[in-house]
Structure formats: structure tokens, C-alpha cells
Structure 1
Amino acid sequence: MTTTETVPTTPPESRAARLVTDYFEPKNWILVVTLLVGWHADKLAGVGWGLFGALFAAVIPVLFIKLGIKRGTWADRHLGVRQQRLVVLVFIICSVTTGTLLMGLLGAPSAMVALIAAMVATLVVIMAITFAWKISVHAAVSSGSVAILALTYGPWLLAAYPLVALIGWSRIALRDHTPAQVVAGAALGAVVAAGTFAGLR
């Protein structure tokens, strides 16, 4: 008598949530917003500044996270463990702050300096909250990015907020965050990131 082994499969909704979480992770938002704000600020030269800012805000942090995963220091690229997230946040804040200072010293357009400074401000608030509560970074970065792009290109871009809601759903569906943590992250991104950008640009 033979038996067939049942291989567990991931429910379709979980696979969809994983795809949304992975494709719309903070790194990708940062790359898009730095390039688009850069283009608006100074066309091709601004795109160059955007790439420079993205180096410190996205590329270096991602390399740091990948190195930690390879060494077994971090559990996963989304840093689900709150204590690990705090350590990485300190590194990212240092990296983004360095990028902000260099852009200011090298004469980057004010909008680009304001954008990277807004990222620093958002990260600092996120880290302060993370000591007590695991607020959603995905929601904060996506919401802040949409708000900043709306300030740059016009309020019509606020129509992209359903995408922020989709990302929030994915974080809840994967049980990485509660609804309250997602809503708080989205509000934080819109208020802190967009407010800092508007005040400095």
C-alpha cells in the first residue's frame, strides 16, 4: 500500500501579499522618489543627485542588510525582529545623514537636500517608536513617498494612495504588523517626511 505525501502550499492570498511586500519594499520607493524629485529639480543633473542620494539612503543600507543576513545576524531582509531592526536603523540613519551632509556641502539642489533630510527625520522618529512598538516602515516610506511626490508634481499624485493601502494590507496579511502599526506608519510618513520636505526645499 502506498501513500501520497501532501506538500503544504502557501495560500494564494499569502503569496500575493508576499509579492506586494517584496516588490514595494522601502528600497524601491526610495530609488523611485529620489530619481523623480531629482528630475523635477534639475533634469539630468538632478537625476545624478538622486542617484547619489539613493546610494546612501538605499544601496548602502541594503548591502549592510544583505551582509547581515549572509552572516546570520539578521533573520530576514524585512527585519521582522524588532531588536534587529533597531540596530539596522542606527546604521541607516548614519548613512542617510552622511548623504545629506555631503549633498549640502557639494551644492545639490535644495529639493534634493530636503528630500534626504526628510528621510533622516522619518528614520529618527521610526527608531524612537520602535523601542516600544513595531511600527510599519513599509507603510511609512510608501506614504511619505507619495506625499512628497504630490508636493513635487501636484496633488493628482495623491491618487496613488490606494497603493499605500495595498502595501499595508500585505503587511497585515503576512502578520508582520497589526492594522494599528500600518495606519500609524502611513500617518507618520505623510506628516514627518512630507512636512520636513516642504519646510526645507
Structure 2
Amino acid sequence: MSPASDRIARAVTDIVDPKNVIAALCLLVGARYGWPGLGWGLLAIVFCAGIPITYIVVREGEGRWANRHLTDRSRRMVVIPVILASVTICLTVMHLGGAPTPMISMVAAMLATLAAIWPITRWWKISVHTAVLAGALTMLGLLYSPWWLISALLVPVVAWSRARLRDHTPWQTIAGAALGALVAGPVFAIGL
């Protein structure tokens, strides 16, 4: 293995971390609806990225987990219910608060994707990195323009980085990407 390739793979994995992709998605979708949309986007960031990563970092700091990417499947089984609860609270607040329908659909798509990942994770370590990225890019393509789908070229780069670091097999990254696009896209499309 080349140390340079490993450093590049680590950088890609860290930059395209699910929390970063979720934050960017929330802001990009929110921007479509002006300042109120950005406010809803910030709320979604808190519940869909902020609270989950805070929980993970606290557990990591307690020495219970090796890293924030949760490379151990058993740890994912513990954290996914916490994230599901946080995203469900966000969805409820957005619905009751009258957020724009596509923003509610965005959070519903995140919830549906995570709900699909959870049972698979019990037996197989499907890639959350590629699932989140493919789902986010699909939603942006549906909302803004099919031209956004060109950005899907990022998905194989992220898949390579996860396989290169031996955090996933190539099939786990492919399955994650397929699941993300095939679950998030239709759920999001309902609100358009």
C-alpha cells in the first residue's frame, strides 16, 4: 500500500463524512426557500448531523469507540437508534412548524434511508458514507436540475476511499450507494 494513497483515502473519507454531506444538503435544500428555508436547514443540521455526531464523539471520548466512523458493526447497532430518534424529532418539529414540504421530505428521506440501513447492518456493514452521499446527490438532482447528477461521479471516489482504508468491501460501498439513491430519491420526490 502506498502511504500517499492512504492519506488521500483518509482525506476523502473525512471530507465526505456523512455529517458534512448532511449539513451541505440541508443548506442547499434550505437555500431554495430563502431565509426561512435556511433556518429550517440549520434546524435539520442540528438534529440530523449535530446531535448524532456529538453522541458519537462523546462515546469515542469515553474510550468506548475507536473512531467516529464506527468501523465496528456492533457500535453502529447502538448509534443508529439514537440517530433515528433524533431525525424523527426533527421531522416532527418541521411538520408541526410548517417547514416547506420538500424540506420535510428531505428529512423523511434521511429517516427512510437510515431505517433501511439499520437491519442490514445487523449482518453486513453496508457503507453509510456512500448511502448518504448518493441519497443527497439524488435529492439535489431532483430539486435543482438533473445536471446535479453529474456530481454522482464523487460516489465512486468515496467508495474507493472506504475500500482503500479497508473499512468496507467494494460491494458494501456499491450497495450503500444503490440503497441511498433508491430509498432517498423516491421518498424525497413525494414532497416535490
- Where do 5+ consecutive residues of structure 1 fail to align? 1-8
Query: What is the DSSP-based 3-state SS (H/G/I as helix, E as strand, rest coil) of the residue aligned with 2:129?
Result: helix
* Alpha-carbon distance in structure 2 between the residues aligned to 1:75 and 1:49: 33
Q: Does 1:114 align with 2:140?
A: no
Matching residue within 121, 125, 129 for 1:134: 125
* Alpha-carbon distance in structure 1 between the residues aligned to 2:128 and 2:63: 22
What is the deviation of 1:128? 1.0
* Alpha-carbon distance in structure 1 between the residues aligned to 2:12 and 2:148: 20
* Alpha-carbon distance in structure 2 between the residues aligned to 1:128 and 1:134: 10
* Alpha-carbon distance in structure 1 between the residues aligned to 2:191 and 2:146: 19
**Letter of the 1:80 counterpart:** T
What whole-Å deviation, never above 9, does each CA across 1:76-116 have from its counterpart, x for those lacking one?
A: 10000000011111100000011001110111111111100
* Alpha-carbon distance in structure 1 between the residues aligned to 2:140 and 2:132: 12
**Letter of the 1:104 counterpart:** H
* Alpha-carbon distance in structure 2 between the residues aligned to 1:193 and 1:39: 19
* Alpha-carbon distance in structure 2 between the residues aligned to 1:108 and 1:200: 12
**Letter of the 2:11 counterpart:** L
Q: 1:10 to 1:63 in 2, by over 3 A?
A: farther
Matching residue within 142, 159, 164 for 1:168: 159
* Alpha-carbon distance in structure 1 between the residues aligned to 2:64 and 2:83: 16
Matching residue within 119, 133, 146 for 2:137: 146
**Letter of the 1:72 counterpart:** G
What is the deviation of 1:69? 0.4
Query: What is the DSSP-based 3-state SS (H/G/I as helix, E as strand, rest coil) of the residue aligned with 2:24?
Result: helix
Identity in percent: 48
Q: Does 1:89 align with 2:80?
A: yes
**Letter of the 2:23 counterpart:** L
Matching residue within 10, 13, 33 for 1:18: 10
* Alpha-carbon distance in structure 1 between the residues aligned to 2:80 and 2:180: 16
What is the deviation of 1:200? 3.2
**Letter of the 2:17 counterpart:** E
Bigger Rg, which one: 1
Q: Which position in structure 1 is the counterpart of 2:183? A: 192
* Alpha-carbon distance in structure 1 between the residues aligned to 2:45 and 2:115: 18
What is the deviation of 1:10? 6.8
What whole-Å deviation, never above 9, does each CA across 1:165-187 have from its counterpart, x for those lacking one?
A: 10110000000000110000000
What whole-Å deviation, never above 9, does each CA across 1:19-41 have from its counterpart, x for those lacking one?
A: 0000110000000111111111x
Q: Which position in structure 2 is the counterpart of 1:4? A: none
What whole-Å deviation, never above 9, does each CA across 1:115-152 have from its counterpart, x for those lacking one?
A: 00110000000001001100000000000011000001
What is the deviation of 1:195? 1.1
May I ask how many residue pairs the two structures share in their alignment? 192
| C-alpha RMSD of the superposition | 1.1
**Letter of the 1:29 counterpart:** V
* Alpha-carbon distance in structure 2 between the residues aligned to 1:72 and 1:51: 30
* Alpha-carbon distance in structure 2 between the residues aligned to 1:178 and 1:200: 34
**Letter of the 2:85 counterpart:** C
What is the deviation of 1:161? 1.1
